[in-house]
Amino acid sequence: MGKPIDLVQGTLDVLIMRSIAQQSLHGWAIAQRIHLVSNEVLQVQQGSLYPALHRLEEQGWIESEWGESENNRRAKYYSLTQAGRKRLKQEIDNWDRLSSAITLVLKKA
């Protein structure tokens, strides 16, 4: 694993939202998932994760609920709201366009 890449805040937001698109997860699980699915390239710091989660909830893209975790303890589960789903789609489209454009420039210019 190389040095953890710094994630811009907006990018972290969309990663979080994507992670909970299929299934509600609690904070720790979200971090693990992002880490695993990215082949351990991306490591989300707690210091960025939780503020991001709270901010997303504040903005209305995700909602939270206390539930029982896999080891029978209380944990806060996050899931996407309707508005959040729409926003996720928008953000993914944006990201695709952005990254294709950057790739073009880097390969050709």
Partner 1 sequence: MRRLTSVLRYLRRSPAEEDLNEELKYHLQRQFELHMSSGMSESEARTTAQKEFGGMAQIQEECRQARTGYWLEAVLKDVRFGARVLVKEAGFTAVVVATLAFGIGANSAIFTLLYAAVLKPLPYTEPERLMALEASLDQPGRGQFRFGWSYPKFQDLQRLGTAYESIAGFSEWSFNVTGAGDPERVDGEIVTGSYFAALGVKAMRGRTFLPEEDRTQDTHAVITISEGLWKRKFGARSDIVGSTIGINQIPFTIVGVMPSGFTGESGRAEIWAPVMMAPSIGNNPKRLQARMAHWLMAFGRVRPGVSLEQAAADFATATQRMEEAHPSSPGRNDTWSGRAVPMMAAKSDPVLTRALWVLFGAVGFVLLIACINVATLLLSRTIVRQREIAIRLAIGASRASLVRQLLAESILLSFAGGVAGLGFALATLKILALQNSQVGDLGNSPMIARLNLTSLTLDWTVLVFTGVVSLLTGILFGLMPALQASRPDPGSALKASGVATTERRPGVHASGLRSALVTAQVALAVVLVAGAGLMLQSLARLLATKMGFHAENVWTFRVVLPPQRYNESSLRRFHDELIARLRSLPGVQSASVASTIPLSGQNENTTGKVNNIAEMADVKVHMVSSDYFQTYAIPLIKGRLLTDVDREGRQRVAVISESAARQYWPGQDPIGHQITLGLDGWGRPVEAAEIVGIVGDVKYRRLDTPPDTDFYLSNQQRPFRQIFISLRVRPNFELPGAVIRDTVRGLDAALPVYALRSMTEIVADSASVIRFNSLLLSLFAVLALILATIGIFGMVSYSVNARTREMGVRSALGASTRQLIGLALSGGIRAGVLGLLIGIPLALAGTRLLRGLLYEVKDGDPGTMFGVCALILVVTLIACYMPARRAAAIDPAIALRNE
| Cβ 71 vs Cβ 28: under 8 Å | no
54 lies in the binding site for partner 1 (CB under 8 A): yes
* Position among 46, 82, 100, 103 found at the interface with partner 1 (CB under 8 A): 46
How far from 29 is each of 40, 62, 63, 103, 109, CA to CA, in Å? Answer: 14, 15, 16, 31, 40
- Report the alpha-carbon distance of residue 18 to residue 3 in Å, rounded: 23
86 lies in the binding site for partner 1 (CB under 8 A): no
10 lies in the binding site for partner 1 (CB under 8 A): no
Interacting residue ranges for partner 1, rule: CB under 8 A? 26-28, 31, 45-47, 50-51, 54-55, 57-60, 66, 69, 73-76
